[in-house]
Amino acid sequence: MQPVVHFKNVNKVYGTLAAVENLDLAIAPGQFVTLLGPSGCGKSTTLRMLGGFEDVTSGEIYLDGKPISHLPPNKRNVNIVFQDYALFPHLTVARNIAFGLELKGMEREAIHRRVTELLTLVALQDYAGRMPDQLSGGQRQRVALMRALAPDPNVLLLDEPLSALDAKLRQQMQIELKSIQQTTGKTFLFVTHDQEEALTMSDVIVVMNKGRIEQMGGPDELYARPRSRFVADFIGQSNFLEGRVVSVSDPVATIDWQGNSVHADVNGTSPAPGARATVALRPEALYCLPGKPEGRLALKGRIGRRVFKGAHTSLDVTLENGASLLVQLDPVALSHIEGDEVWVGWRERDAVLLAD
Ligand code: ADP
Ligand code: MG
């Protein structure tokens, strides 16, 4: 299938700063794609180049197979929603949504039908005559979204649209945004620095770091199989065991970590015996046993800090070798207390090798 958006070797340089470097990214139609990364990694720049608000320094962007880098924003069939989604304060909800359609010269009847259809989609059909200041924050957000969707753009660009909302409303809007995307079948390109938000909504997450793509994939894939330390650390939390490769029997590598033989999935990397290697382990993949288990690797340690977090409890376990591991346990099952001696173990398949 032809990608709806295709960045081919796109670069953006500000003075001496490479804000976006060698970006190659193809987006399939109808997907919810999220650019995720820390502040300053080039997410907004990428979005703004696609929207036409920023020139590319080199490379080309294609929309439905046609190069668009030379076109002004109003000649590109994309639309953008920002965090400060200012509605026109002097126009009703219906006129706000109709605005882009009137500009296009659409007929009154057709505009009315389209506005009604969009308001119904977000259950605001009874609010057509209200003014923006008579709406709640969540309702204003929905209207802004419908205003952006009204002209039927090929792609809807969303630059951290939820970051000004409080936590509860934000979670609610995440679910709603995803459901609107699924109902309309539109391609959404969403930007956030919040990994939980990205995991909640996306079909595909593109993790960016310093202007480059670190890794892209489905949320579960990125979480279970991070390729780099950056991704393993940015999405969720990870323990890192730094050691050396002893042997490889694809797909399992044996790593020497401070005198312990640790098995890990090679995870698409090509480990060479003798080379340095890092194994990533999710805190919730670890468990604690009161005694040494038979026939399985477990490392002896002592529980340091124990923090109750509601849905789970986290433990810092200091091992005999001086290293410490972060362990997350279900509080219901947890009987360990600070100072207890424990054996920390994990299932082999939960340990993955990183490429760097
Ligand atoms: P993000 O959206 O991921 O936080 P941006 O795309 O806004 O990051 O910025 C990427 C980098 O480019 C940052 O280092 C930022 O300071 C820089 N940058 C963005 N816009 C400009 C500009 N107009 N002039 C100079 N530098 C810019
Ligand atoms: Mg930004």
Report the distance separating Cα 279 and Cα 243, nearest Å. Answer: 8
Residues of the chain with pLDDT > 90, as a percent, come to 84
Give 43 Cα–ligand 2 centroid separation in angstroms. Answer: 6
| CATH number of the domain within which 101 lies | 3.40.50.300
On the question of pLDDT at 244 being above 90, the answer is yes
Question: Which residue is closest in CA terms to ligand 1's atom 1?
Answer: 40
Report the distance separating Cα 287 and Cα 253, nearest Å. Answer: 22
| CATH number of the domain within which 319 lies | 2.40.50.140
Burial class (CB in 10 A: 0-12, 13-18, 19+), 256: middle
pLDDT band for 333, please (50, 70, 90 cuts): low
Question: Which residue is closest in CA terms to ligand 1's atom 17?
Answer: 19
User: Is the Cβ atom of 271 under 6 angstroms away from ligand 1?
Assistant: no
Give 200 Cα–ligand 2 centroid separation in angstroms. Answer: 19
pLDDT band for 348, please (50, 70, 90 cuts): confident
21 φψ region: left (φ > 0), alpha (ψ -120 to 50), beta (else): beta
pLDDT band for 98, please (50, 70, 90 cuts): very high
pLDDT in tens, 156-192: 999 999 988 889 989 999 999 999 999 999 999 999 9
Report the distance separating Cα 113 and Cα 44, nearest Å. Answer: 33
- Give the number of the ligand closest to the Cα of residue 38: 1
Give 274 Cα–ligand 1 centroid separation in angstroms. Answer: 41
Q: pTM of the entire structure? A: 0.93
pLDDT for the residue 332: 67
Do 86 and 206 belong to one domain? yes
Average pLDDT in the chain: 94
Do 211 and 334 belong to one domain? no
Do 9 and 36 belong to one domain? yes
pLDDT in tens, 182-205: 999 999 999 999 999 999 999 999
- The pairing of beta strand 298-308 with beta strand 313-319: antiparallel
- Give the number of the ligand closest to the Cα of residue 42: 1
Domain, as residue range, for 148 = 5-229
Choice from 11, 14, 55 to test ligand 1 binding pocket (greatest atom count within 8 A of CB): 14
Q: Which atom of ligand 1 is nearest to the CA of 39?
A: 4
Angle at 278 between CA 275 and CA 280, to 5 degrees: 155
Do 208 and 86 belong to one domain? yes
